[in-house]
Amino acid sequence: MADPLLFNPRTYDPAQFDPETRRLLRATVDWFEDRGKRRLIEDYRSRAWLADFLAFAGKEGLFATFLTPASAAGHKDQRWDTARIAALNEIFGFYGLDYWYAWQVTILGLGPVWQSDNAAARARAAELLTQGEVFAFGLSEKTHGADIYSTDMLLTPDGNGGFTAEGSKYYIGNGNAAGLVSVFGRRTDIEGPDGYVFFAADSRHPAYQLVKNVVDSSKYVSEFRLASYPVGPDDVLHTGRAAFDAALNTVNVGKFNLCTASIGICEHAMYEAVTHAHTRILYGRPVTAFPHVRRELADAYVRLVGMKAFSDRAVDYFRSASPDDRRYLLFNPMTKMKVTTEGEKVIDLMWDVIAAKGFEKDTYFAQAAVEIRGLPKLEGTVHVNLALILKFMRNHLLNPAEFAPVPTRLDAADDTFLFEQGPARGLGSVRFHDWRPAYDAYAGVPNVARFREQADALCEFVTTAAPDEEQSRDLDLLLSVGQLFALVVHGQLILEQARLTDLDEDVLDELFSVLVRDFSAFAVELHGKDSATADQQRWALGAVRRPVIDEARSSRIWERVEALAGAYEMAL
């Protein structure tokens, strides 16, 4: 029997969506399954460009249906719907990050276009999507990375309302094939933010020079140069401060996709790992008979369930966002940082069990172990996202506001606000609903109650022992605090989703036993920081807790994990 909490191609039926969405999601799964594991792995190992996959996606209208907002739609099924986008992310991650990457950078490339008032550019993008084209996001540079204040892509006015662009971009996915590349630059005749420009370029134009793929992968992460590239008025997407805002708001939209890709990777790897461990005999016993193996696989399983619960609930906040409700700005870097690093832990736990098997070239796990590392490092590093998360800590923990309850959002609606986010500032003023009721609802679950003690202790820390002005410049110490705060937010959305989906309380209790251990570990880390004060050190050790142990509960969780053995294996 398939585990209802995990994606399984054998039983997948996305009945929560409209007929055309269900058809496209199922058609995508079937395309990969028909292709088979041998071809999937061989394409990954040979770094083959994804021409066959993109041909399939174009024929089915996959990208055009999922990535054309209703305002630019050519038929009724086209809309920007974060719930179904998340479902497709998970499928792509399950079969290979290379496929997800081509889709992800297409999303980024479309961000500045769908935020633009340039009707000609919007119409061109919609037509290119219909033709099955991919897109690219030309932001990063070799020297400056994503420091867009320092861009060296220079636009010189041509006297006819347009520009001539000169400069290069680096780490630009799909830069080899994009029908439209959204490129960020600055004018040579205007200083400061008023000089920023976002414009559309075509990778097939003679003045667009493709330099190389900077990674050894099917993912074409390009370096390209523009040499006297003509930028006409119809190519200009944004100017001035609006161009800067479009860059950051695009990352807000695209950053979210990393969490569900990580989930898909972990799900496929888990089927392989549990099946291998359960069928391997060591010292006359199945590997899964050893207590440490059971603990590691059970921890991996509940962490993965937590990743899914958090991400699913975050979708609801994205889809319900508005100028008066910007809570998604916290949950977004959380999905990017916390969920993806949880994915690394899930893979590492399973790899400790299957050991050398995880290196074998005929496994999906071998690529999962590599690709899972990239996700926390895309769209900003873990450190960048933790620093962003910290901006919301005081308001979230100590200063709640009243909001109407956010329901589960699986409706077939267009998420228009994501392209109308407005100025990318004012993060410190974002307010949140009270986090405590989510925990109160599960006060009878032993490890939720134990973790709540730690969450309350963090509020005490912020009130009585928060970093002073000098410590606030010590990012090393602040990142440990950020990890503690992230755990409270992680737990909150997991509990909200648990209530909405009636998640099994055994699973929840086992998951929170892991979170209790995590909080204790980060508290000990904070205790050891060079600049931690005596009060902070005392607080840190006082926040350490031991999870509530329940052998019967752990045995029931193990039965769920053990049932994954043989539940799915991709046909050759």
520-529 pLDDT per residue, tens: 999 999 999 9
Residue 331 has pLDDT above 90, yes or no: yes
Please count the CA atoms within 13 angstroms of the CA of 166 that sit on its side-chain side.
6
**Bridge partners (DSSP) listed for residue 184:** 198
- Interatomic CA distance for residues 468 and 535, integer angstroms: 12
Q: Torsion-angle region of residue 7: left (phi > 0), alpha (psi -120 to 50) or beta?
A: beta
Q: State the helix-helix crossing angle for 340-354 and 291-319, rounded to 10 degrees.
A: 160
- DSSP 8-state symbol, 3: -
- Interior CA angle at 424 toward 419 and 428, to 5°? 130
CA–CA distance from 289 to each of 283, 292, 346, 556 (Å)?
11, 9, 20, 15
- Interatomic CA distance for residues 69 and 60, integer angstroms: 17
The overall average pLDDT reported for the chain is: 96
CB 82 within 8 Å of CB 317? no
In tens, the pLDDT along 186-242 reads 999 999 999 999 999 999 999 999 999 999 999 999 999 999 999 999 999 999 999
- Interatomic CA distance for residues 79 and 54, integer angstroms: 20
- Interatomic CA distance for residues 119 and 130, integer angstroms: 17
Please count the CA atoms within 13 angstroms of the CA of 458 that sit on its side-chain side.
29
Q: Which residue has the tokens 């276009």?
A: 113
User: Residue 1's pLDDT is what?
Assistant: 66
Going by pLDDT thresholds of 50, 70 and 90, the confidence category of residue 381 is confident
* Beta-strand pair 196-201/208-213: unpaired
CB 526 within 8 Å of CB 477? yes
Average pLDDT over residues 558-572: 96
- Interatomic CA distance for residues 503 and 497, integer angstroms: 8
In tens, the pLDDT along 54-106 reads 999 999 999 999 999 999 999 999 999 999 999 999 999 999 999 999 999 99
Residues in CB range of 55: below 8 A, 6 or more apart: 132
Going by pLDDT thresholds of 50, 70 and 90, the confidence category of residue 150 is confident
By C-alpha distance, which of 232, 183, 189, 187 is closest to 208?
183
In tens, the pLDDT along 455-472 reads 999 999 999 999 988 898
Residue 231 CB burial class (10 angstroms; 0-12, 13-18, ≥19): buried
Q: Which two tokens stand for residue 226?
A: 């523009």
- Interatomic CA distance for residues 451 and 446, integer angstroms: 9
CB 125 within 8 Å of CB 110? yes
- DSSP 8-state symbol, 378: S
User: Residue 479's pLDDT is what?
Assistant: 93
In tens, the pLDDT along 262-298 reads 999 999 999 999 999 999 888 888 889 899 999 999 9
